[in-house]
Amino acid sequence: MTCRVMLRSVFRCLQTNPVAGYRSMSQSSLAGKVAIVTASTDGIGLAAAQALGKRGAHVVVSSRRQANVDKAVALLQSQSIQVTGTTCNVGKGEDREKLVKMTLDQYGGIDILVSNAAVNPFFGSIMDSTEEVWDKILDVNVKSAFLMTKLVVPHMEKRGGGNVIFVSSVGGYQPMTGLGPYCVSKTALLGLTRALAPDLAQSNIRVNCVAPGIIKTRFSSANWRARGNWRSDCILVHRGGFLHHRRDHHSNRRDGLSTVNLHVQQNTFALNRVFL
C-alpha cells in the first residue's frame, strides 16, 4: 500500500465529524485567560502564542535559550500582545515548576496549556536508534507533556476549568521514513489525549490533540530538506497540513468530539474554536 493510499485511509477514519471547509477564525475573546505555550519562540509554538495573544490572552512563552525568549517577547509585544517569558527545558522538573510558578506570580492563574515542546535527535533507520535516543525522545515528547499537564491542572480547577492542547504530528498516524522514534512519541500523544480526557472532563478541562503535517519550520528542516519539495510526498493531506484527532470532553458532554480547525500556511497558525 502506498503512502498516499494509507494517508487517505487514515483521513477518512478521522472524518467522523468533518469540518465543512474553512470557517473564519472565531471572534470570541480570550481576554483575561492565561496561556502557557511551551517551545514557543519559533515555528508552530510562536505562531500559536501569536494567535492566542491576538485574541486577548495573556501569553507565557518559553524556550531553552534566554536570547530566543527575549526575541519572541519583543516580537509579541510589538504586536500589542500581553506576554512574558522565561527559559524552560521541559525535560527538567525544576524548569517546569519554574515556568508554572512564574505564570502564577505574573498572572494569578492558568487557563490554557499548549504542549508543543519536542525533540528529535535522530534521523535514520529505526533499527539504528539507540537507547539514549529513545530515552531523550520519550522523556521530552511524552513524559514531560504529561508532567506539565499534571502541574497545571490544579490551577485550572481553581478557575473552573481549562484547556490542554497537545501538538502531535501526522507522523503519529503514519510514521515517516527516518523519523521512527519521533513518530512513535507522537502516536503516544494521541493515546495520552484519550487517556486524560475522561478524567479531566470531571473538572471541566478539555483535552485536544492536533496533528500537523510537515510545516516548513527550523525544527522540521531535516525532513523537508531531505524530501526536496516540502509540500510533496503526500504529507500535507488536509488543508493547511493538518489531520485532526478530535477528542473533546465538556463537563456536560462526555462522548462528543471537539471541533478543531487549524490552518497553517508556512508559519501562520490560526485557531478556530479550539479553546471555547
From the number of C-beta atoms within 10 Å of its C-beta (0-12, 13-18, 19+), residue 63 rates as: buried
Task: Quick: pLDDT tens for 220-240.
Answer: 555 545 555 433 333 333 333
The dihedrals phi and psi of 211, each to the nearest 5 degrees, come to -125, 90
CB atoms within 10 A of CB 189: 24
For residue 119, give the amino acid letter: V
Tell me the average pLDDT across 124-147.
Answer: 98
Provide the whole-model pTM.
0.76
Beta strands 261-265; 268-272: pairing state: antiparallel
For residue 183, is pLDDT > 50?
Answer: yes
Q: What is the set of active-site residues?
A: 182
Cell numbers 537507547 correspond to what residue?
131
At the topology level, CATH places domain 31-270 in Rossmann fold (3.40.50)
The C-alpha atoms of residue 103 and residue 89 are separated, in whole angstroms, by 15
| DSSP conformation class of 41 | S
For residue 93, is pLDDT > 60?
Answer: yes
Domain ranges of the chain: 31-270
